Amino acid sequence: MIEQFIFEFFAAIGTIAFAVSGAFKGIRHRLDVLGVLVLAFVTAIGGGLVRDALLHRTPAVFIDIWPALFALVGCLLALLSNMLSKERILSWTNPESRTFLILDAIGLAAFTVTGAKLGAVSGLNIFGIILLAAITGVGGGVIRDMLVGEIPLVLNADFYATATLIGGFVFGVLYMYNFATPWPSILSFIVTLSLRLLAIWRGWKLPVL
């Protein structure tokens, strides 16, 4: 129970952080208020929507109202931060700031575990588990970038989706070898988060061919 609560807390952080990154991208592209709102929501909940469509579940966000509220909080934070940018208040919401990247990494790891877990309990193969982890973790960001006509960041920058894929793989393997709950979740979370934080810290990039 306690680990369930901690994961939901991390997922809430992730939802807020993802919404912030979407809203900032909308502001930078000079979208109107609605466009900013849409980009915030798409980034925060888009990956989960695609995942749920593939698993033919009713999207979690349509039943449980909290993620939508967290996304709204993230959107408002970004708007506020943008208005106050001269005073450098809320500067941690800036998607380039170190603090933001860490919050975003926590969200990425939490989303990865959520996706992998749903895939595993649906009886998918290891490829399905990894793919659902990745879609949950980075799918929202991909749709966000496509909406504003950019090549999705995860395709050509940083060590970001790779952390998710490895985290999903860890979950899948542990689950298949019958590790007791919640160990697959905890280890997958730690691996994803550590890899992403290392990547931020060391400036890891994947090679271009």
Q: Determine the interface stretch with its own copies among 12-20, 94-102, 117-125, 182-190 (rule: CB under 8 A).
A: 117-125
Residue owning tokens 């050509």: 156
Q: Which of 61, 120, 133, 174 binds its own copies (CB under 8 A)?
A: 61
Q: Which of 56, 86, 88, 202 binds its own copies (CB under 8 A)?
A: 56
Long-range contacts (CB closer than 8 Å, 24 or more residues apart) made by 116-125: 116/167, 116/168, 116/171, 116/172, 116/175, 116/184, 116/188, 117/171, 117/184, 117/185, 118/51, 118/55, 118/57, 119/55, 119/168, 119/172, 120/171, 120/172, 120/175, 120/184, 122/55
Nearest residue to 134 via CA among 153, 111, 156: 111
Q: Which of 20, 27, 75, 174 binds its own copies (CB under 8 A)?
A: 27
- If binding is defined by CB under 8 A, does position 80 make contact with its own copies? no
Q: Determine the interface stretch with its own copies among 10-18, 49-57, 89-97, 107-115 (rule: CB under 8 A).
A: 49-57
- If binding is defined by CB under 8 A, does position 79 make contact with its own copies? yes
- Please give the distance of CA 79 from its chain centroid, rounded to a whole number: 20
- If binding is defined by CB under 8 A, does position 128 make contact with its own copies? yes
- If binding is defined by CB under 8 A, does position 58 make contact with its own copies? yes
CB atoms within 10 A of CB 56: 7
Q: Which of 156, 176, 183, 201 binds its own copies (CB under 8 A)?
A: 156
Residues that bind its own copies (CB under 8 A): 26-27, 29-36, 38-39, 49, 52-59, 61-65, 68, 79, 82, 119, 122-128, 131, 142, 146-152, 154-157, 161-162, 165, 205-209
